[in-house]
Amino acid sequence: MSLRPERSELLMPAGNLAKLQMAVLYGADAVYLGTPDMSLRTKSDFTLEEVVEGIEFAHAHGKRVYLTLNLFSHNKDIAKLPQYVETVKRVKPDGLIVADPGVFMFVKDAAPDLELHVSTQANVCSWQSVKFWESQGAKLCVLGREVSFEELAEIREKCPDIKLEAFVHGTMCMTYSGRCLLSNFMAERGANQGACANSCRWKYKVHLRLNDGTVKPLELTEENMEMFEFLLEEEHRPGELMPIEEDERGSYILNSKDLCIMPKLEDYLKIGVDSLKVEGRGKSLYYVAMVARAYRKAIDDWYEDREGWSAEPYMEMLSAVPNRGYTYAFHEGRLTNHAHGYEHTGTIADWEFAGMVHSVEEDAFIVEVKNKLMAGEVLEFMSPSHMTPLRIRLYEFEDIKTGKVTDVIHAGPKPLIRVPFALFDKEAVDHLKTHFPPMTVIRKEKPLSEAERARLTMDGVSQGFELGQRSEAALDRRREALVQAVDREAETASERTVKSPRYGVEGCCGKGCNGCLVFWHDPAYAKAREKLSAKKQGEKLEGADTKPVAAE
């Protein structure tokens, strides 16, 4: 008998063994994974041996592992089931995720001891459907993304004995929880077989068909663009004309923002959703670590102080993860047009993956470089256990493979650099070793263009609008500012900049970073150092406090 847990679990994706280990390190209670030949995980990098290793690693850390067998089977797939089920029984996962009723029936008969979970691909959106699967022996149902919170609460009330799982974060599918034929039609890659080509996010160009049957590209110029307007009319909404806009980048009418339930997370915790699922098996190690870190902290803080809980600090953590803009999608029921992004597509954030702690020596971190590093940049070590980032400015990089010391290092050759503990002039060595183990993620500020910064600003206002905190007029102003920034960027290449000064010898950002020459060594900053000593490590000074005495 599988009992419902006392607390909601955080369920993270694992696209390969390293991501599984990263998810466990940064706080996941459970991970879900599969191999390409056995599930809807065609992008999975797991071999069968790595599946076994991953399960053993997770179980050694007290975490659960769910394997996926959630394809919609064709006749050719049936012959593989006996061998797969025998393999699954040997590796002993904590649950098997299934979508196809026929596959469910087969596994139930062939492996009655396996805990069966019903995949989101089954499109479970009502309490009656949950009751059906419960009667068939399912121990958990993954609800469709289309389920509103009101519906979710009713399902929880009417189905108190079965575990419920709901998506809280990740990419949104533009169809019905993955039931898509667009990818199959355009690329012969079936979404229902785990091979979605993301055709909904492709760049489309409008063409003009002439009366003689010839087809020509419709090039919009300053001379003719006022002559055309492109509109869609849906059959049952006569007269309701919906514009399709295209610029030099194309038309993106199907570009959904990313799901982020964090502003409403306490609603899910209050009613006892058993498993809070994050999407993203194809995302980076940085994504896995930072998203797990934010939700782990948010969940734990809510159970510790329900009355004083606020989503704001955790949203700040998630804003550092590349995204398409956040929306809580179907939470209120109907999906609005504000859940889509038309003006500027792609995932962006003002932080990026800089590196990862490869190993911890007696006197130094050995860091695996993941992005170009330049002298004077601030690196932030993001501890899995300690919420305050550890900041340091480095002015040179020692490649331990070649012995070269440079002021710029590129990630292409996959270099390892030594970061001596002696450079952390304000930190105890025991603290560094305890809270920053191997696989600790390191980030840095990402240079952004004017248009990208305008996009981030509009994303914030859009989310505030969804929460009822900002007006539609404010959103319209930000959208217009973004459009203008995109237009300017198309005409002239926009310089990419970072918010903080690049060199600690040029000025102070007020963060008091380890190794900041100008802040820790210039007598002019004595007053600022005194004020910073009253703050916790890394907490930024504001305004005049960051200026040297001579400049005041």
Three-state secondary structure string covering 242-300: EECCCECCEECCCCECEEECHHHHHHHHHHCCCEEEECCCCCCHHHHHHHHHHHHHHHH
Going by pLDDT thresholds of 50, 70 and 90, the confidence category of residue 531 is: confident
Residue 204 predicted with pLDDT over 60: no
- What are the residue ranges spanned by the domains of the chain? 9-172+258-327, 182-243, 450-491, 517-551
Going by pLDDT thresholds of 50, 70 and 90, the confidence category of residue 287 is: very high
> How does pLDDT run across 439-464, given as a tens digit for each residue?
999 999 999 999 999 999 999 999 89
Sign of dihedral through CA atoms 110, 114, 117, 119?
Answer: negative
pLDDT of residue 486: 84
Bridge partners (DSSP) listed for residue 514:
392
- DSSP letters of 203-231? -B--EEE-TTS-EEE----TTTGGG---E
Residue 97 predicted with pLDDT over 60: yes
Do residues 391 and 427 touch, judged by C-beta distance below 8 A? no
pLDDT of residue 54: 94
Residue 251 predicted with pLDDT over 60: no
pLDDT of residue 184: 61
Do residues 152 and 143 touch, judged by C-beta distance below 8 A? yes
Over residues 270-279, the mean pLDDT reads 97
SS3 426: coil
Residue 128 predicted with pLDDT over 50: yes
Report the distance separating Cα 401 and Cα 382, nearest Å: 25
Going by pLDDT thresholds of 50, 70 and 90, the confidence category of residue 247 is: low
Report the distance separating Cα 507 and Cα 378, nearest Å: 13
pLDDT of residue 147: 94
| Residue 1 neighbours by CB distance under 10 Å | 3
**Predicted TM-score (pTM) of this structure:** 0.86
Matching residue, tokens 């047009």: 337
Over residues 160-173, the mean pLDDT reads 93
Q: Residue 362: CA atoms inside 13 Å, Cβ hemisphere, count?
A: 0
Sheet holding 364-369, edge to edge: 390-393, 378-382, 441-445, 351-360, 364-369, 416-420
Q: Cα–chain-centroid distance for residue 47?
A: 24
> How does pLDDT run across 3-59, given as a tens digit for each residue?
678 899 999 999 999 999 999 999 999 999 986 555 444 456 787 788 889 999 999
Residue 293 predicted with pLDDT over 50: yes
Do residues 382 and 289 touch, judged by C-beta distance below 8 A? yes
Multiple choice CATH, 9-172+258-327, 3.20.20.70, 3.40.50.2000, 3.40.50.720, 3.40.50.300: 3.20.20.70
SS3 assignment for 345-373: CCCECCEEEEEEEEEECCCEEEEEECCCE
pLDDT of residue 303: 97
Question: Among 110-124, 258-272, 332-346, 436-450, whose mean pLDDT is lowest?
Answer: 332-346
Tell me the pLDDT of the chain averaged across its residues. Answer: 85
- DSSP conformation class of 176: B
Question: Among 23-32, 124-133, 176-185, whose mean pLDDT is lowest?
Answer: 176-185
- DSSP conformation class of 65: E
> How does pLDDT run across 482-500, given as a tens digit for each residue?
888 888 887 777 788 887 7
Report the distance separating Cα 257 and Cα 347, nearest Å: 9
Helix or strand (DSSP H, E) at 142:
strand 140-142
Which CB contacts under 8 angstroms, 24+ apart, belong to 202-208?
203/249, 203/250, 203/251, 203/252, 204/250, 204/251, 204/252, 204/253, 205/246, 205/250, 205/251, 206/230, 206/244, 206/246, 206/251
What percentage of the chain reaches a pLDDT higher than 70?
78
Cα angle 346, 291, 30; round to 5: 125
Query: Which one is predicted more confidently, 250 or 108?
Result: 108
Residue 317 predicted with pLDDT over 60: yes
Report the distance separating Cα 258 and Cα 546, nearest Å: 36
Residue 535 predicted with pLDDT over 90: no
Report the distance separating Cα 292 and Cα 278, nearest Å: 8
Over residues 297-312, the mean pLDDT reads 96
What percentage of the chain reaches a pLDDT higher than 90?
52
Over residues 346-375, the mean pLDDT reads 95
pLDDT of residue 461: 92
pLDDT of residue 240: 62
Report the distance separating Cα 140 and Cα 245, nearest Å: 43
- Pairing verdict, β 9-13 and 275-278: parallel
Which among 196, 9, 7, 176 is positioned nearest to 95, based on CA atoms? 9
Residue 151 predicted with pLDDT over 90: yes
pLDDT of residue 42: 47
Report which residue type is found at 124. V
Question: What phi, psi does 127 have (nearest 5°)?
Answer: -65, -30
Query: Which one is predicted more confidently, 221 or 234?
Result: 221
* Lookup: tokens for 369: 């470089």
- DSSP conformation class of 13: E
- Pairing verdict, β 373-374 and 408-409: antiparallel
* Lookup: tokens for 531: 């004020």
Query: Residue length, the chain?
Result: 552
pLDDT of residue 40: 41
Report the distance separating Cα 516 and Cα 46, nearest Å: 42
Conformational region of residue 222, where left means phi above 0, alpha means psi within -120 to 50, and beta covers everything else: alpha
Over residues 465-469, the mean pLDDT reads 89
SS3 4: coil
